[in-house]
Amino acid sequence: MDLRMRFLGHRWKRTTVPTDATGGREELFIALFLRAMETVPELRALPDALEEYTVRWDGEEMSVHHPNVDQAIFRAAQEPERSAQGGARVSTWPPELRRDERDHDFYPAPEVLAEIPGLWATVLEPHEHKVVRLRYSSAQGEWYVVEVDGATGEAYGWSYSNGDPSQGRWGLIDLPALESCRADSDPPELIARDLDFTPDVAADVLPEGRTPNSCQDANCPVCPPDFMTEYVTRLRSVIAEHGFAVQAVLADEGSAAYCYTVGLHESQGHEFVMTGLDARTMQRVLHSVVERFAGTSGPVAGEVLDGLLANGYQLLLRPVQSLEPFTMLRAVYGREASAPYWQALWPDAEGIFPTDISCSLSPGTQPLL
């Protein structure tokens, strides 16, 4: 399918996506938009929360809008058929500057380049399923090429350049710029093509230590096991069955343990958290707090709860100031997820809460979130 696209601040761009790879025009256009959010600087600077964006159709053209921008940030439409993109228009590429230092060509033969999909051609394929066609490496990084523009040398793939695969990401790769990197820098940055590399799916050839970009299908035979994906799936199942889940975070040398609810805001409009006790105790108390507020209008600042702690001790409720500690809330509901959290505070031996300066508990024993 021949397409034209326009990104915020850019001219119209034309590309071709194989028709046998498309799952429908709307699905394709949305996939192109998501790729643009990943690669176009002007779009990468916009918020990640997809629910903030609006999709509009004007005849055959789709446009995407954001309330903070006074014009469409992405537009796409189908064009009349033309010759397929890709292939080996490599004569316009800059000449190789470091050929003698490498002792072999930086770019593969034209017939090999002709087999590599053009830019945007694999946009509907999950990242881990994409076939990596070329691998380049230096002392500090690796570059894995999935697509390439045969006219300019601009490519798309996965890479890292700081010696740490865990910092790698999918994005654009400027092959002519890589070719021109110098070998006499410190550390040396001569980048060479791996002549022994065999094309295969990204899941099997990208380096260990990276964060996989799973297709979210727990039964996928291609994607590597993704603990976080599996865990979030289980957490969502618990929320669907019970209305909420309680996530425990164990203590370490620098911070106290804490437990917090996830999903309760969908039914009750708020979430709860406790810090500083052992995880099992906090989980039990949080379940009791949830039950106490079921069917009510919710907590108020300074509200005191009786009967939930041993020895007659009370709990004090206070609104939480930052959502930063609640990683699983964002994992389940998205990076921009927000919900009001209430911290259930327990007192010292004298029944005094940490919000009172006379409380004998050290600040690190029960941190105020």
pLDDT at position 366, please? 92
Separation of alpha carbons 263 and 289, rounded Å? 15
Separation of alpha carbons 202 and 213, rounded Å? 10
**Closest alpha carbon to 171 in 43, 35, 366, 305:** 35
Q: Is 279 helix (H, G, I), strand (E, B) or coil?
A: helix
| pLDDT, tens only, 310-350 | 889 999 999 999 999 998 998 888 777 899 999 999 999 99
356 Cβ contact list (under 8 Å, min separation 6): none
What is the share, in percent, of the chain residues with pLDDT greater than 70? 91
pLDDT at position 93, please? 65
What is the share, in percent, of the chain residues with pLDDT greater than 90? 57
| pLDDT, tens only, 114-149 | 899 999 999 999 999 999 999 999 988 999 999 998
| pLDDT, tens only, 68-117 | 999 999 999 988 765 444 444 444 566 777 777 778 889 998 888 889 99
53 Cβ contact list (under 8 Å, min separation 6): 64, 65, 66, 73
Asked if the peptide bond before residue 110 counts as cis, ω within 30 degrees of 0, the response is: no
**Amino acid identity at 171:** G
C-alpha distance from residue 22 to each of 19, 26, 27, 122, 124 (Å): 5, 10, 8, 10, 7
CB 138 within 8 A of CB 173: no
pLDDT at position 88, please? 42
pLDDT at position 198, please? 95
Q: Is 211 helix (H, G, I), strand (E, B) or coil?
A: coil
pLDDT at position 15, please? 84
pLDDT of 301 > 90? The answer is yes
Q: What are phi and psi of 137, to 5 degrees?
A: -150, 155
CB 112 within 8 A of CB 7: no
Q: What are phi and psi of 271, to 5 degrees?
A: -130, 165
pLDDT at position 333, please? 86
The answer to pTM > 0.75 is no
> Which among 24-33, 77-86, 90-99, 259-268 has the top mean pLDDT?
259-268
C-alpha distance from residue 13 to each of 10, 47, 53, 146 (Å): 8, 23, 22, 19
**Amino acid identity at 55:** V
pLDDT at position 84, please? 44
pLDDT at position 218, please? 63
| pLDDT, tens only, 196-214 | 999 999 999 999 878 778 7
- Quickly state the pLDDT bin for 32 (edges 50, 70, 90): very high
Least confident of 67-71, 149-153, 156-160, 245-249: 149-153
Question: Across the chain, what does the average pLDDT equal?
Answer: 87
Interval 255-268 mean pLDDT: 94
pLDDT at position 265, please? 95
Q: Which residues pair with 245 in a beta bridge?
A: 262
